[in-house]
Amino acid sequence: MDLADPTIEEFVALYLQEVSGHLRAISPAAIARSGELLLRAYEDGAQVLVAGNGGSASTASHLACDLGKTVLGAEPTSRTSRFRVVSLADNVALLTAWANDVSYDAVFAEQVKSLGRPGDVLVVITASGNSANVIKAVEVARERQIATIGLLGFDGGAVREMLDEHIVVTSREYGHVESAHVVLCHLLTEWFKQRLYTPADATVGLDA
């Protein structure tokens, strides 16, 4: 924020301006590549694993919910299967067991070892890109031929170059990054809704 002592109206206007600026700066091509990778997983019947800490844990749960339920909803369609997707942040007993008995760095990696198979996709959501448990989960995924996608912030952090695909929100503010990540989750969900409700001979892309 550049204003020294803004009114609430000035603060709101500037905050929204900053967030919208970061959203406009996101690479559409990066979103498209990540979307196609997730679509391939769906078409192959592969599983999508999603992980994140703190606010990003909530976003991981949100994305898993939207892919698993919202994409196809309750309406009858020609599609008989849904996304096979799970948030690795949701099983509190399992998270705390790994954290207590091994270390917090292991909480996602050990789940990837248990659940992941070659051809699956791991989505990591992290503002800094430097969380040790996220990095270790990606390391395990790479060892097991599991594709990796990152929703990142800042400069992408250490995990950026380890990923098959990444979408970076180039802000240093956690709130801006996390807000943008939720928008990206909704964007991808909406695209899948259109794509998977569309007859097979039609083409709907992210630029439609």
Q: Which ranges in the chain belong to alpha helices (H)? A: 8-25, 28-44, 55-65, 92-101, 109-115, 132-143, 174-197
Judge whether 151 and 184 are in contact, CB under 8 Å: yes
In a domain, 121, yes or no: yes
- Tokens standing for residue 103: 């270390």
Give every residue of the chain whose pLDDT is below 70, as ranges.
1-3, 74-80, 198-208
In a domain, 9, yes or no: no
Q: What pLDDT, on the 0 to 100 scale, is given for residue 4?
A: 74
Domain that holds residue 99: 27-197
Q: What pLDDT, on the 0 to 100 scale, is given for residue 81?
A: 86
In a domain, 12, yes or no: no
Q: What is the pTM of this model?
A: 0.90
Q: What pLDDT, on the 0 to 100 scale, is given for residue 9?
A: 94
CA–CA dist 160, 166 (Å, integer): 7
Please write the tens of the pLDDT for every residue from 140-174: 999 999 999 999 999 999 999 999 999 999 999 99
Judge whether 42 and 107 are in contact, CB under 8 Å: no
Can you give the CATH number for the domain in which 64 is found? Answer: 3.40.50.10490
H or E element at residue 173: none
In a domain, 157, yes or no: yes
Q: What pLDDT, on the 0 to 100 scale, is given for residue 177?
A: 98
In a domain, 39, yes or no: yes
CA–CA dist 164, 151 (Å, integer): 12
Q: What pLDDT, on the 0 to 100 scale, is given for residue 6?
A: 87
Q: How many domains does the chain have?
A: 1
In a domain, 7, yes or no: no
In a domain, 8, yes or no: no
Quick one: CA torsion of 147, 66, 155, 121, rounded to 10 degrees?
-10
Q: Which residues 6+ apart lie within 8 Å of 126 measured at CB?
A: 52, 53, 56, 134, 150, 151, 152, 153, 157, 159
Q: Contacts by 158-164 with C-beta closer than 8 Å and gap 24+?
A: 158/129, 158/130, 159/124, 159/126, 159/129, 159/130, 159/131, 159/134, 159/135, 160/129, 162/135, 162/138, 163/124, 163/138, 164/37
Judge whether 112 and 88 are in contact, CB under 8 Å: yes
In a domain, 6, yes or no: no
Q: What pLDDT, on the 0 to 100 scale, is given for residue 207?
A: 45
Q: What pLDDT, on the 0 to 100 scale, is given for residue 77?
A: 59
Q: Which residues 6+ apart lie within 8 Å of 85 measured at CB?
A: 47, 48, 49, 50, 63, 64, 67, 68
